[in-house]
């Protein structure tokens, strides 16, 4: 493993740091592979309850780098398909993670980098950050992120972002709900830490996992299918140790720290 992606755990928060600042943390097949590998490490780490994805350098992630784009022109269809599936798997493991995933964005998050930032459960950004799905401006398509952006926004807002390729500032991104929190650069690390710690201490890890699983599944169901699925998950939740512990603490008026 190289040092392109760093990982450390502090107080049950796992920090994944993109560490390719000289390339503005631009994505390549190898870089995506390493992010995916480190993410799976964090996912399996019992000492980690919440995952934060952040970056070193002036950009969160500037999309694909120029050398990588040049290489893609000479790829066969099979090679391009394998590359696309590699990125889609990264987004999928983040979206379906049983742990809450937070992106901390300080600087540009463009194309695939914008997808990486916004596929997370929560996105914190500084005022100097920018976001944009710029693929249509170079004859490409924001194919993979589209799957997640339509779920997040619906078709109308997704069209506005994906068809124009417009780069928007953090204020605009916050106003339309693309990001969750807009925080001064001097305080964002502490804000993310406090938010993650609140999740660690005040919420059940089992409940978080089940809620995320349900949010991913229920959108594909009819009303009756969704209600039946919800009833089953509700019944399953009642059997978990976390639920038993939580109800006992509530009934006994005990302060509970997870």
What would the pLDDT profile of 194-222 be if each residue is shown by its tens digit?
Answer: 999 999 999 999 999 999 999 999 999 99
Report angle CA 138, 140, 144 to the nearest 5 degrees: 140
**Mean pLDDT score of the chain, rounded to an integer?**
94
pLDDT bin (cut points 50, 70, 90) of residue 1 is low
Q: Which of 42, 43, 44 is nearest to 9 (CA)?
A: 42
Q: What is the pLDDT of residue 64?
A: 83
What would the pLDDT profile of 125-167 be if each residue is shown by its tens digit?
Answer: 999 999 999 999 988 899 999 999 999 889 999 999 999 999 9
Active site residues: 135
What would the pLDDT profile of 82-107 be if each residue is shown by its tens digit?
Answer: 989 999 999 999 999 999 999 999 99
Q: Is the pLDDT of residue 65 over 80?
A: no
pTM here? 0.93
What DSSP assignment string belongs to 87-130?
HHHHHHHHHT-SSEEEEEE-SEEETHHHHHHHTSSEEEE-TT-E
């Amino acid at each position: 493993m190289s040092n392109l992606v760093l990982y450390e755990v502090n107080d049950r928060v796992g920090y994944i740091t993109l560490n390719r600042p000289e390339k503005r943390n631009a994505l390549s097949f190898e870089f995506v592979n390493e992010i995916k590998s480190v993410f799976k490490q964090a996912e399996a780490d019992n000492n980690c309850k919440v995952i934060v994805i952040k970056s070193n350098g002036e950009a969160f992630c500037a999309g694909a780098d120029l050398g990588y784009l040049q290489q893609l022109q000479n790829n066969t269809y099979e090679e391009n398909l394998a590359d696309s599936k590699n990125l889609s798997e990264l987004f999928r493991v983040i979206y379906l993670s049983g742990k809450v995933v937070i992106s901390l964005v300080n600087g540009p998050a463009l194309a695939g980098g914008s997808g990486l930032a916004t596929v997370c459960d929560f996105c914190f950004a500084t005022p100097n950050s920018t976001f944009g799905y710029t693929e249509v401006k170079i004859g490409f398509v924001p194919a993979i992120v589209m799957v997640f952006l339509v779920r997040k926004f619906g078709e109308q807002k997704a069209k506005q972002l994906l068809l124009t390729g417009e780069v928007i500032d953090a204020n605009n991104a916050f106003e339309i709900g693309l990001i969750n929190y807009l925080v001064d650069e001097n305080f964002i690390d502490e804000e993310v830490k406090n938010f993650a710690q609140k999740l660690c201490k005040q919420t059940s890890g089992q409940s978080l996992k089940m809620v995320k699983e349900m949010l991913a599944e229920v959108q594909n169901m009819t009303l009756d299918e969704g209600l039946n699925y919800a009833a089953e998950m509700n019944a399953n939740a009642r059997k978990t140790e976390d639920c038993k512990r939580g109800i006992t603490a509530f009934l006994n008026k005990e302060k509970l720290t997870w």
